[in-house]
Amino acid sequence: MPSADKMRCAYALAFLVVCVPASKVWQTGDKKAPSLCSSYSSGQPTPANVADSNTGSCTLAGAPGVCSCYDVHDYLVGGKYEGIFDGKMSCQTTQLPASDVLGKSAGGDECPGYTPSGRRGRSLGHYANVIDCSGCSGSCLDPTHYKPCINGTAESHSKYFTSLRHYAYGLQDWSTTTVRGKVMVVDCITFACTGAPAASSGRRELGHGGGSAVAAPAGWRPDPSMPYVSGNDNFCDMTKLVNPATIAGGDYLAMVAYIWVITCSFIPRTSEPFTKFTPLGFKGLIWVNPCQPKGCLISAYANMVAQSWSSNPDPALPICISANGDANNPTGFVPGYNAPADEDTVQNFIVRQWASPGMEVWVECTEGSTPNVRVARSASFKAIFVIYGVFHLLLVGITTVSVYRRYKSKMLCSWTTFVSIVEGIISSCIRAWRCFTGEYFYNANTTIDNGNWFLTSAETPFSIATTFVTAMVWLKLICLSSKSSTVSKAFNFVTGFGALVVFSIGISFGMIYPFQPWLSLNFSSGQQVRDLATLPVVYTNMALVAVFTILSATALGKMLLASKRTSSSSISNAVRKMLKYIALQVVGLVLQIVSFYQTNEYTNILDSVNPDYFIWYICHLRELGGLFAGYGQVLALLTSSSSSSSSSSSTTSTTPCHVA
């Protein structure tokens, strides 16, 4: 069982509070961090009792001073240079010049040319030209010896972060397992170890966001005993990078980043790379994922797979999903559901490890949870979406019967039939499938192309094409009273060509984001790719909805005037019925636009925003909008077709023409 040193608590729904243990990361052996008091036999390692070999006297700007290895007079305490004297030979005096840049009378500067292994790489240099350390001798100890020590154990000073287990791959029951060990970075693609091929910038922005900007030290390899030679340059095969003897008998956790997963598993559509860790002796896998400037997301990564309905590649391997942060989220993500923010990331510890030889990074991972995961995996949520799917299929049935009747009446070849088939059958079938198999990225069965297509495109190209056609039908009712074959042919050509253009826009842009890993487009962030794929279609949809609303209102008004002139109650009743369906369609179209826009804005940062964005804007509004728009559009046109047939036989040439 994982320890519960610190809990992550948050409101899940209404007044329900859910608490889960947090994961934690800590280090041992970092010479730049305070040491544990238990490592000293005589209490605090204060400068007064540190036995270094430094001795002698010096001068600074003509004033006498003493040679020292720390900030004797707290000259730099509280500023950005605090601590840079620790472990360096310096000259400390109580008679600084009145012109001192810090306005202090006691302080010092480091001795020129002193570069022991403990040197921190920064220097003050305020008095570099007026300091004389020729009387200094001996050497200083590591910087940690001049800092107050800290009580407790290394683990007691852990930093906490939120994690999730993978819901399709790896160990699924963590109740009796402690996922704990020393971290070994084995990702030669993201962190560019020696011999690694250059990852294209396009593949650093895959699926949900960018990759890591962290570079490993020159010559770095996961296991130095496995140097780069021809034949072991397959960076997706851990057996080419890690020798089992290196980790034999130890508790090691392998660490990879999202770029490695994309490159080795998702693009080639294979889960085989995940089978290599357990045989080598790893106790688990840490999979770190990118953040966006506005927030982070880990929930979706915990449900992504290489192939839909594929088998679990290694049921014994615990896979721990976490965020690696970015410039705007340096310590990981800040949840948007009243839970504590991450205190640090595993990747940050690894970066410090690379700069501090001898340092080791340790992690204890918990399976964790987030409100979005809990909601999407709940039985009630799934049941609601099954109901949505049933209603979508009901529309398919209604449409199928209607199309069959039109076939029997020899009225099949019409725009009404086109809209009925495309919206009532094709679009509704896509929506029903999504309801029965989703919620995508939360169903433990999502591939990056399939999932992103259902989120950013799916039925949209078909739906906006039928919106265009319906608007053209209303335009014909308003403007085209002539029944000549030339006019009809021209109208049909313009309508068909326009529908094809609108559909092409939707389908083309809709494929960009889902297939971006294979297209290798070069963008600075995943959100930029999503914007390119989604916003042009959203704006096109908004324009079509506006035009449709104006034209349908005008057409209905014209039909009402016609019914009054002819005292036709059948037309008047049909208009009232159509008005309800058109209003339903407009409401549905607006809900869809809102949902698509919110999906584009917040999908990549859902764990950093209020769960309502996921529950309502992304999930429910999308399906309710599809239901309202689908039923409204199909039923309105069927009613229009019936009423226009009646009007054509009972009105004069000034009445609306037949549109079926």
Q: Report which DSSP code applies to 263.
A: I
Q: What is the C-alpha to C-alpha distance for residues 446 and 306, in angstroms, rounded to an integer?
A: 8
Question: For the chain, how far is it from start to end, CA to CA, in angstroms?
Answer: 68
**What Rg do the C-alpha atoms of the chain give, in angstroms?**
34
The pLDDT of residue 481 is 67
285: β partners: 254, 319
The pLDDT of residue 49 is 55
Exposure string (b/e) for 526-546, b if CB count within 10 Å is 16 or more? bbebbbebbebbbebbeebbe
The pLDDT of residue 631 is 94
Q: What is the C-alpha to C-alpha distance for residues 655 and 237, in angstroms, rounded to an integer?
A: 73
The pLDDT of residue 316 is 96
Which phi-psi region, left, alpha or beta, contains residue 299 (left: φ > 0; alpha: ψ -120 to 50)?
A: alpha
Q: Residue 131 to residues 89, 237, 368: CA-CA distances in angstroms?
A: 12, 56, 57
Q: Residue 177 to residues 1, 2, 265, 416, 629: CA-CA distances in angstroms?
A: 5, 7, 26, 60, 49
287: β partners: 256, 321
Q: Residue 269 to residues 334, 444, 505: CA-CA distances in angstroms?
A: 32, 16, 28
Burial class of residue 121 in the structure, from the number of CB atoms within 10 Å of its CB (0-12 exposed, 13-18 middle, 19+ buried): exposed
CB 183, CB 361: distance < 8 Å: yes
Half-sphere exposure of 471 (CA within 13 A, CB side): 21
Task: Kindly give the parts of the chain with pLDDT less than 50.
Answer: 1-4, 11-15, 117-121, 198-209, 646-660
Q: Between 526-566 and 569-602, two packed helices, what is the crossing angle to 10 degrees? A: 170
The pLDDT of residue 61 is 92
Give which of 258, 615, 298 is closest to 439, Cα–Cα: 615
CB 288, CB 323: distance < 8 Å: yes
326: β partners: 329
Give which of 558, 563, 582 is closest to 478, Cα–Cα: 558
Residue 652, amino acid: T
Q: What is the C-alpha to C-alpha distance for residues 235 and 186, in angstroms, rounded to an integer?
A: 9
The pLDDT of residue 42 is 53
Give which of 342, 356, 267 is closest to 298, Cα–Cα: 342
Which tens digit of pLDDT belongs to each residue from 482-514? 667 888 889 999 999 999 999 999 999 989 888
C-alpha angle 355-360-362 in degrees, rounded to nearest 5: 130
Q: What is the C-alpha to C-alpha distance for residues 118 and 139, in angstroms, rounded to an integer?
A: 10
Sign of CA dihedral 324, 326, 332, 336: negative
